[in-house]
A and B are shown apart, each in its own frame.
Chain A
Amino acid sequence: MSDALQIPTPPAAGPSGRKPGKILSRRNIFIYGTLILVSLYYLLPLYVMVVTSLKGMPEIRVGNIFAPPVEITFQPWVKAWAEACTGLNCDGLSRGFFNSVKILVPSVILSIAIASVNGYALANWRFKGSETFFAILIVGAFIPYQVMIYPIVILLREAGLYGGLTGLVIVHTIFGMPILTLLFRNYFSSVPQELFKAARVDGAGFWSIYFRIMVPMSLPIFVVAMILQVTGIWNDFLFGVIYTKPDLYPMTVQLNNIVNSTQGVKEYNVNMAATILTGLVPLTIYFLSGKLFVRGIAAGAVKG
C-alpha cells in the first residue's frame, strides 16, 4: 500500500527496510507483475527457438510457433551440427564451431597478455608519451570499425596473413586493446604503491614484478577480461567475414550463411537449432559468471 511508502520506519524495525506490508499490496502487484511480464517477453525468443528446434517440419507448417512440440525430435540438432550446407561444404555448423574455437583461444590469450602488460606499464612504469598513446587508444575505441577495415586489409595482405586465422587473431587483439588496457590500467593503479616500491627496493624489475606480484594479485580482473573477450570474439561477425576465407569462417558467419541461404527448402527447425548452438557458448559463460559478467559490462561502460 502507499502508506507503506510514506510512513517513516519505526526505529525498532531494524536498520533498513520499510514497514513490512501485506504481500499482495497494490505496490507489490505492480512491481512484480510488470517485472514478470517483461521477463516473459525477454524469455519468449529463447523459448520459441528451443520449441521450434525440437519439432519436425510438418508440425511447424501446421502448428503455431508458441505451442510446445507434440513429438520431440532431435534430428534438427543433429542436422544443424553435422549436415547443414553452406556453399559446397556440407559438414554442418561443427566446422564453424571449431573455427571459432581456433580463433577464440589464441585471440583471448594474446589480447589479454598484451593488454595486461600495457595496462601495467601505464599504471606503474609511465614513460614520456605513454599517456598520449593511451589517450589515442581510448579515442580510437570510438572510431567506427568501417574506417579502419580497409587499411588493415592492405597491411595483412602485405604481411601475407590476409584470409588466414593469424590475421583475424591480430585484428581481434588490436580492437580488444583499448577496453582491456583501460580495464587493466585502472585495476593495477589501485594496487597499493608501497607493494610496488618494496619490490623495487628488493631489486625486482619490470617483468619479475609483473609475473610475481601483479598477475597473482589480479586474478579476478583477468577473469573479467576473459569473459569480456570470449563473448565479444565469439559473437563477432564483421571481422570474421572480412578477414577469413569461407573454409575458415567463424560460427556466426557460417550460421548466417546457413539460415539466410536462398537455395533449397527452408528448414526452420534446423535453422533454430543452429542458432541456439551458436548462442550456447556466450550463454553458458553468462549464466556461469553471473556478477562478473556485469562487472565486465560496467568496465566496458566506463569506456564511454
Chain B
Amino acid sequence: MAAATGPARWHRNISAKIAAIPMIATALVIFIGGTAWTVVYSFTNSKLLPREKFVGLAQYERLWTSNKWLISIENLAIYGILSLIFALVIGFFLAALLDQKIRFEDTFRTVLLYPFALSFIVTGLAWQWILNPDFGIQHVVRSLGFENFAFDPLYNPDIVIYGVLIAGLWHETGLIMCLMLAGLRGIDEDIWKASRIDGIPMWKTYLFIVIPMMRGIFITAIVLVTSGIIKVYDLIVAQTGGGPGISSEVPAKYVYDAMFLSQNLGQGFAASTMMLLTVIIVVVPWAYLEFGGKRT
C-alpha cells in the first residue's frame, strides 16, 4: 500500500480518503457496528423498544423451546439440503448438455435462466397458482379421469416445504447451470481428447475427471446457494405466508415477525444471531480453505 502512495501522511491521497468515506462508514457502522449491536441486544429482554436490561441467555432458551422456531429450523434444513443437492445435480447435468457443442445454445440458456431475473414474490405467486388444488395441477389431472390423484403441497402441512422447494429450484437452477457451464468451458479440450482416445465412457470422464477439476466452481456454487437459502424469506411470504398454520415458517420470517409484528425485539435479535452463527459455520471453513490454504 505504502508503495503506491509514498510517505504516509494523513493529508496525502486526501481525495481518495474522502471518496472512500461512504465505504468506511458502511463497513464500520453498519456491518461491524450493526452486527455487534444486534448480538449485544440479543441478551436483553427488549420488547417494543430496545432496552439495556440484560437477561443472559433467556432469549435463546425461549427461542429453542419455541415450536415455531424449531419448525423453522427443520424447514430450513430440509429446504436447504434438498435444494442444494438438486440445484447442483440438475444444474451440472444441464450445463453438461449445453456443453455438447449444440445448436441454439443461447436460446436454451436464455430460457433456463429467465426465472432468476424474476423476484421471489413473482416466483412464489406463480407457483401458488399452479399448485392450487382447485384449479392447478391436481384439478387438471383429476379432470383427466384420475379422480383420486392428490397433489396439494401448499395445503398439506406435511409436504408444504416441498411445494416451496419446487418453486425455489425453478428460480435458482439456471444460475447454477450458468456457473457450471463457465466451469466446463474452462476445462482443457485435451482432457476430452485423451479420455476419448483411451475409450473412457463420457459419464466416467465427467464423474471422475471433470468434476474433481471443477472443485472451485462447486464450492463457489455451494457457498452461493447456501447463503441464499439462509436468507429465504420473500418466497415463503408470497407462496404460503408461512402456512398452513406455521408449517412452512423459516428463520428469516421468524425474525421479521418477532421484530415487526409481535413487538418482541429480543427474540428477533436472538433468532437473527443464530442465523449469523449458521452463516459463520458455513463460510469460515470455506474462506479458510479458499484463502488460508493458498498461503501455505
Q: Which of B12, B26, B111, B113 contacts A177 (CB under 8 A)?
A: B26
State the Cβ distance, B153 to closest chain A Cβ, in Å.
15
* Bound complex: CA A66 to CA B129 (Å): 12
Alpha-carbon distance between A144 and B272 when the two chains are bound, in angstroms: 8
Interface of chain B, main secondary structure: helix
Q: Please pick, from A140, A150, A272, the residue contacting B27 in the complex, using a CB distance under 8 A.
A: A140
B209 on the interface (CB 8 Å rule)? no
Closest Cβ–Cβ distance, residue A210 to chain B (whole Å) = 8
Q: Give chain B residues whose Cβ lies under 8 Å from the Cβ of A78.
A: none
Contact for A151 among B19, B23, B38, B129, CB less than 8 A: B38
Cα(A263)–Cα(B153), bound, Å? 23
- Complex Cα distance, B97 from A109, in Å, reads 39
Residues on the A chain within 8 Å of B31, using CB: 136-137, 139-140, 143, 148
| B59 in the interface (beta carbon within 8 A) | no
B195 to chain A, nearest CB (A): 10
Structural contact, B114 and A286, CB atoms closer than 8 A: yes
- Contacts of B166-184 to chain A: CB distance below 8 A: 170, 174-175, 178-179, 182
Name B121's contact: one of A60, A149, A252 (CB within 8 Å).
Answer: A252
A274 to chain B, nearest CB (A): 8
CB <8 Å contact, A154 and B273: no
Contact indicator B8/A304 (Cβ below 8 Å): no
Residue from B97, B114, B128, B170 having most chain A Cβ neighbours under 10 A:
B114
Residues B213-238 near A (CB distance < 8 A): 220-221, 223-224, 227, 230-231, 233-234, 237-238
Number of A-B contacts (CB under 8 A): 272
- Please state if B111 and A39 are interface contacts (CB–CB under 8 Å): yes
Q: In the complex, are the beta carbons of A31 and B100 less than 8 A apart?
A: yes
A292 interfacial by beta-carbon distance below 8 Å: no
Q: Would you give the 0/1 interface string for B72-114, flagging 1 where the beta carbon is closer than 8 Å to chain A?
A: 0000000000000000000000100110111000101111111
Question: Taking the complex as formed, is A255 at the interface, i.e. its CB lies under 8 A from any CB of chain B?
Answer: yes
Q: Is A174 an interface residue (CB 8 A)?
A: yes
Whether A304 contacts B197 in the complex (CB less than 8 A), given A5-B202, A205-B15, A231-B117, comes out as: no
Q: A45 interface residue, CB < 8 Å from B? A: yes
* Contact (Cβ within 8 A) A35 B38: no
22 A–B contacts, CB within 8 A, in A order = A6-B196, A39-B112, A42-B112, A65-B129, A118-B22, A118-B23, A128-B8, A136-B31, A136-B32, A144-B276, A146-B256, A147-B39, A147-B272, A150-B259, A151-B37, A154-B50, A260-B238, A271-B125, A279-B118, A293-B113, A294-B178, A304-B223
Interface residues of A, Cβ cutoff 8 Å to B? 5-6, 8, 17-18, 31-32, 34-35, 38-39, 42-46, 48-49, 52, 60, 64-66, 114, 117-118, 120-122, 124-128, 130-131, 133-134, 136-137, 139-140, 142-152, 154-155, 173-174, 177, 181, 205-207, 231, 234-238, 242, 252, 255-256, 259-260, 268, 271-272, 275, 278-279, 282-283, 285-287, 290, 293-294, 297-298, 301, 303-304
User: Residues of B with Cβ closer than 8 Å to A?
Assistant: 1-2, 4-5, 8, 12-13, 15-17, 19-20, 22-24, 26-35, 37-39, 50, 94, 97-98, 100-102, 106, 108-123, 125-130, 135-136, 139-140, 143, 170, 174-175, 178-179, 182, 193, 196-197, 199, 202, 220-221, 223-224, 227, 230-231, 233-234, 237-238, 241, 251-252, 255-256, 259-260, 265, 268-269, 271-273, 275-276, 279, 283
